[in-house]
Amino acid sequence: MRGMSQRKRFVRLLVAALAICLPQLAVAASEGQKQQAERQLTQPLNNAPVWRDVRAGEGNPYQTTQVRGIETNVLIQSEGEIWREIRNGPVTVYGGLFVLIIASIIGLFHWLRGPIKLRERPTGRWVKRFTDWERLVHWSTAISFLVLAVSGLVILFGKYIVLPVFGGSVFGYAVFSWLAAISKNLHNFVGPLFIVCASAMFVTYVKDNLWRSYDFRWLGNSGGMLWGEHVPSGKFNAGEKVWFWFGLFLLSIVLAVTGLILDFPNFGQGRATMQLVNVVHAIAAVIYMGVAMGHIYMGTVGVEGTYDSMRISGGDGSVDETWAKEHHEYWYKEVIASRGREAAPTGAAAQPQH
């Protein structure tokens, strides 16, 4: 055993010498070597410490290569396989299912419950709901969102949904690659634009989306959506406020941060960062798309008269007074009061619909 221990002592001495010269780095770097030397004494041929080194390497000055680039001195990264399992597995499968299920729920709701109609007849008197600026900001955000959503879907699901349509022909591959390239580039350039639009949206709409005590009551009754009772709300109801804070605020921040990291690999971030960020981005995106479908449904065919408020052509952002009274009663009263008029009595609107 003498020879071995001498050799070990030499390695230790060398390690100590290096540790003194290069304090932190050397300790970290030589740790694997030391562990390997010790492992060979207790378990010959068990090379686990070497394999740990092989998978690490970043920041290790004793693991080198002549090739410059991202993590070029890392010999093997096994996290890529984990990322593949997660992205091609749950993210694709459950993400796809999630989008389909939300779409089905909306479809089912529309079929069973039908659009929420006005209970009283429209008055023909209009109240201004959104200014030109508010509508411009909304549509800039909405359109850039839709571009991101569609192009993102092509990147995530296109291989499984669009590509098979062409039956794997050479022509089909060419067409799909063209679609994917457009999607990817649109996504990567519209992404930063979306961040600008969403920020403007936040600043413009935040004051009407602050949480009020009456919003709890609205939420408790699910806005009267299911049983039809009337629940008053401010300019935005609690559902819209949840969409604002959870969607526009929280999910946008998550997507913006992860999106920018993905969009600018030129800062040299490593693969582990990209893998993590990609999964977070994809999950947040799928949730965002799901909630957005609900929002789009309610804003268009789901609730009669709502779309008027956001019209770009054929409207100036005004809604009928009946709509205002039935859907945003507190706001309606404020607006009418500011005009120095008596608000019309709530009347039939207070009664359940059915």
Partner 1 sequence: MARMKFLADAERCIECNGCVTACKQEHDIPWGVNRRRVVTLNDGMPGEKSISVACMHCSDAPCMAVCPVDVFYKTSEGIVLHDKDLCIGCGYCFYACPFGAPQFPQDGAFGLRGKMDKCTFCAGGPEPDFSEAEFRKYGRNRIAEGKLPACAEMCSTKALLGGDGDVIADIYRSRAITRGRGSEVWGWGTAYGRPEKKPAAQPPGAKS
Residues 19-78 that bind ligand HEM (CB under 6 A): none
| Amino acid at residue number 174 | A
> Of 278 and 318, which has the nearer Cβ to ligand HEM?
278
Residues 145-174 that bind partner 1 (CB under 8 A): 155-156, 158-159, 163, 173-174
Residue 303, helix vs strand vs coil: strand
Contacts of 66 (CB under 8 A, 6+ apart): none
Scanning 130-138, 146-154, 200-208, 236-244 for contacts with ligand HEM by CB under 6 A, the matching segment is 146-154
Query: If residue 263 lies in a helix (H) or strand (E), which one and from where to where?
Result: helix 252-263
- Binding partner 1 (rule: CB under 8 A), the pick from 20, 21, 24, 81 is 81
Scanning 178-186, 194-202, 322-330, 334-342 for contacts with partner 1 by CB under 8 A, the matching segment is 178-186
CA-to-CA distance for 15 and 33, rounded, in angstroms? 9
Contacts of 247 (CB under 8 A, 6+ apart): 288, 291, 292, 295
- Binding ligand HEM (rule: CB under 6 A), the pick from 37, 56, 106, 148 is 148
Residue 192 Cβ vs ligand HEM, minimum distance, rounded to whole Å: 5
CA-to-CA distance for 247 and 99, rounded, in angstroms? 16
CA-to-CA distance for 115 and 237, rounded, in angstroms? 18
> Within a 10 A sphere around the Cβ of 127, how many other Cβ atoms?
20
Q: Is residue 266 within the footprint of partner 1 (CB under 8 A)?
A: yes
162 binds, among ligand HEM, partner 1, none (CB under 5 to 8 A by kind): none
Q: Is residue 145 within the footprint of ligand HEM (CB under 6 A)?
A: yes
Residue 317 Cβ vs ligand HEM, minimum distance, rounded to whole Å: 24
Q: Is residue 62 within the footprint of partner 1 (CB under 8 A)?
A: yes
CA-to-CA distance for 83 and 231, rounded, in angstroms? 46
352 binds, among ligand HEM, partner 1, none (CB under 5 to 8 A by kind): none
Closest-CA residue to 149 (of 240, 284, 241, 274): 284
CA-to-CA distance for 301 and 138, rounded, in angstroms? 18
266 binds, among partner 1, ligand HEM, none (CB under 5 to 8 A by kind): partner 1
Residue 183 Cβ vs partner 1, minimum distance, rounded to whole Å: 8
CA-to-CA distance for 163 and 177, rounded, in angstroms? 9
Q: Is residue 263 within the footprint of partner 1 (CB under 8 A)?
A: yes
Q: Is residue 218 within the footprint of partner 1 (CB under 8 A)?
A: no
Strand duo 318-320 + 126-128: pairing: antiparallel
Q: What sign does the CA torsion over 53, 57, 62, 65 have? A: positive
Residue nearest to ligand HEM (CB): 259
- Binding partner 1 (rule: CB under 8 A), the pick from 67, 111, 171, 340 is 67
Whether 176 and 162 have beta carbons less than 8 Å apart is answered as yes
| Interface residues toward ligand HEM, by CB under 6 A | 87, 145, 148-149, 152-153, 155-156, 184, 187-188, 191-192, 194-195, 255-256, 259-260, 262-263, 278, 281-282, 285, 288-289
